[in-house]
Amino acid sequence: MPESRQGEAISLEVGVTVAGARTFYLESYGCQMNFSDSEIVASILAGEGYRSAAQPDEADLLLLNTCSIREKAEETIRRRLREFRALKKRRPTLQVGILGCMAERLKNQWLEQEKLVDLVVGPDAYRDLPRLLQHLGEGQRAVNVLLSREETYSDIAPLRLDSNGVSAFVSIMRGCDNMCSFCVVPFTRGRERSRDVCTILDEVKGLADGGYREVTLLGQNVDSYRWAPDDGGVISDFADLLERVAQAAPSMRIRFSTSHPKDLTEKVLHTMARHDNICNYIHLPCQSGSSRILELMNRTYDRNWYLSKVDEIRTILPDCAISSDIIAGFCTETEEDHADTLSLMRYADFCMSYMFCYSERPGTLAARKFADDVPEEVKKRRLSEIIALQNELSLSHNRRDVGTVAEVLVEGRSRRSDERMRGRNLQNKMVVFEDVSACKPGDCVRVQIEEATSATLMGRLIP
């Protein structure tokens, strides 16, 4: 998944605190899948009679939904847990737990050695929360980090958190079978398993009936979605699912994330081309532009193959925006490898990218086989060059939109000015415009684009 929220805390509030009820406070870190999982956790807690608290010092139970993709995220979580421990010293009955990807790997360290937490729950064990909370109530510490080959939480209705009432996530599958050498996800989230098509369609229809205008289908690798019904009926791949979702909710915009390049098929692209409500945007992580580094990363494609996939997208979907994930300074990366990444970025003309220095993750193939031998200062310099180029590409990309009319789904007021509204166009670009009295969140409006920065399009509302 894209690391768009990596290291960033979002306080997820549900409902209103009820006097006398036990309360919880939940923060999520990392990718969109973690935020989707937090909605599952909130639903389970609500079923146990818990209500949310607006602040940590108002809660009986403090939870952090964690991410292990990069070392910085672990440092952020440890710092936050120490802050929670200070609260616990003042209120000994306070209970603290970690959820998600860090749970299995760091359970002993944080539970026994540093004594930072009372509860540890892995991403496949949220259904066990009621039993684990009972153990906490009896004064015991509680742990369940077992991975599952079946769990998809398909029968649990997510409790929409921190929602604008316009956009929502729907998880279509869990886990990952790709063994990219740098990635810890297969070890923290287990093998791939897909949800029943019918449960996904029911959830999407429920969102549409509830007034939502956009849904993002989520998975570590959505393009490997595959559902085989028990009755031996027709097997559905991701293109089939995408088609059925688009048909089931014609009033909603449909997005998806994330795609592994090797699994993004022509069938998916042609499905996107057939349906106006499927957005013209694909997140297609390249990770590197060097064939040698891609082989070390076990990405199963080389540079030329990735570029041919970009060409295929441009042929079938000429207006499609492509974004990416890029790692600077992977093991043994040379200046020539780095130059290959920069040239691939230029060719692909990414509208935006999530860009990071390589961070060795314990237990991964890269950590076992390769030395993390690129000096930190070299990693940072190469990352700075990647960021500078992406800013240049993003600005050029956005400037091409000046003078055009964008179809914008309104999300709310601009974060910088209450006198402006914000929303996204079909290419997932942020658009800011004036005339707040003429529209409301959830409206689909037309905006004449007049200015552009590398991050934002700005314009005026067309009545």
What pLDDT, on the 0 to 100 scale, is given for residue 1?
52
Provide, for the chain, the percentages of residues in helix, strand and coil under a 3-state DSSP scheme, each rounded to the nearest 5. Answer: 35, 25, 40
Cα–Cα distance for residue pair 85/295, rounded to 1 Å:
44
Mean pLDDT over the full length of the chain: 91
Per-residue pLDDT tens over the stretch 364-391: 999 999 999 999 999 999 999 999 999 9
What is the share, in percent, of the chain residues with pLDDT greater than 90? 78
Give the pLDDT confidence score for residue 20 in this predicted structure: 55
Tell me the domains of the chain and their CATH numbers. Answer: 5-144 (3.40.50.2300), 164-279 (3.30.750.210), 280-400 (3.30.750.200), 405-462 (2.40.50.140)
The answer to whether residue 289 scores a pLDDT higher than 60 is: yes
Please give the structure tokens belonging to residue 113.
Answer: 């050695």
SS3 254: strand
Question: For the residues 441-449, what does the mean pLDDT come to?
Answer: 97
Across residues 263-267, what is the average pLDDT? Answer: 97
Mean pLDDT of 274-283: 98
Question: 5 or 322: whose pLDDT is higher?
Answer: 322
Q: Of 409, 407, 391, whose CA–CA distance to 456 is shortest?
A: 391
**pTM attached to this predicted model:** 0.91
Burial class of residue 416 (count of CB atoms within 10 Å of its CB; 0-12, 13-18, 19+): exposed
Of 164, 168, 161, nearest to 13 by C-alpha is 161
Over 50: is that where the pLDDT of 237 sits? yes
Question: Using the 8-state DSSP alphabet, how is residue 70 labeled?
Answer: S
In the chain, what percentage of residues exceed pLDDT 70?
95
Amino acid at 38: S
- Under 8 Å between Cβ of 321 and 280: yes
pLDDT digits (tens, 9 = 90+) for 67-124: 887 777 788 898 999 999 999 999 999 999 999 988 877 888 888 777 889 999 999 9
Tell me the C-alpha distance between 158 and 166, whole Å. 15
Compute the C-alpha angle 178/284/239, nearest 5°. 80
Averaged pLDDT for residues 148-174: 91
Q: How far apart are CA 413 and CA 448, in angstroms?
A: 18
